[in-house]
Amino acid sequence: MKLGERRLFGLFGDPVGHSLSPYLQNEAFRLLGINGVYLSFAVKPEELGAAVAAVRCLKMGGVNITIPHKERIVPYLDRLAGDALLTGSVNTVVPEDGQLVGYSTDGEGFLLSLRHQGEMEPAGKKAVLLGVGGAARAVAFRLVQEGVAALYLVGRNPEKTAGLQAALRERTGFAAVGLSFADPDLAAVAAEADLVINATPLGMYPVTGDHPPLPAHGLPPRLSRSRSGLPSAGNGLLARSAAARLAYPGGVGDAGLPGDSGLPLVDRADPAF
């Protein structure tokens, strides 16, 4: 393959300096013999339209979308497909027949991680989802599709929480319960849950000591963390779980950075492209 034929792929978000996606994707390209290069691009909300136009102009092979653009990017695309049609959240943009098509692999990636590393099926479980952003939307819809018994949505913005509740109800008929981080019932609800999912940016590498404001005594035996950022062994929420003498399985949420679990780098990547 000629160097001039190499295709450009990328990640759009703000911030992106911490992201391991270029390492993951470029290693995958090398292993699969794909003549491409994957770079991260810091794109502010007011620059998103121009960034999407650049995807068209530069004939890029595709881009991944991360915080804070997973919902904002939808109006700039030609159409949605797959899970993105249901969730209204996009983490992957692919050029197809002259159009830019938005997909979401967050829900699928989360479910694969939950099954592979957490050894858990969500069907019949009681889940608490921390966060109501783009990644949380994808995870919420996937949990409902997989038959979760109860779902509590915990957000800082009451309007966004109510919006996700309404979307779930209108598109699936499922009635999720909305809570705030200040809700006095949150600790009790989380303590009785089978699964707590951190879909907030808090705890993402490199600031792994941060965590959502969930009381330590409100942590159940099993924890999970969504694909909104690669987890770290230093994740504050998980550290507080250990301090509270609550057991959690090795794998989902406490796997650490690539290299510490014996898994190849590409095993941690979403099925994005």
Q: From the CB of residue 247, how many other CB atoms can be counted at a distance below 10 Å?
A: 10
**Active-site position among 2, 44, 59, 70:** 70
Determine the residue type at 14.
D
Q: How far apart are CA 140 and CA 28, in angstroms?
A: 28
Determine the residue type at 144.
V
**Ordered DSSP codes for 207-229:** -TT---S--GGG--S-EEE-TTS
Domains by residue range for the chain, with CATH: 3-104 (3.40.50.10860), 107-243 (3.40.50.720)
**Ordered DSSP codes for 35-91:** -EEEEEEE--GGGHHHHHHHHHHTT-SEEEE-TT-TTTTGGGSSEE-THHHHH---S
Q: How far apart are CA 136 and CA 120, in angstroms?
A: 18
In order along its 273 residues, the chain shows pLDDT tens digits of 455 588 999 999 999 988 889 999 999 999 999 999 999 999 999 999 999 999 999 999 999 999 999 999 999 999 999 999 999 999 999 999 999 999 999 999 888 888 887 778 999 999 999 899 998 999 999 999 999 999 999 999 999 999 999 999 999 999 999 999 999 999 889 888 888 888 887 655 555 555 566 655 556 544 444 333 433 333 444 333 333 322 222 333 332 222 232 323 233 334 444
Give every CB contact of residue 177 below 8 A, 6+ residues apart in sequence: 150, 151, 152, 153, 165
pLDDT of residue 60: 97
Structure tokens at 258: 């690539």
Planar angle of CA 220, 173, 86, nearest 5 degrees: 90
Is residue 125 flagged as an active site residue?
Answer: no
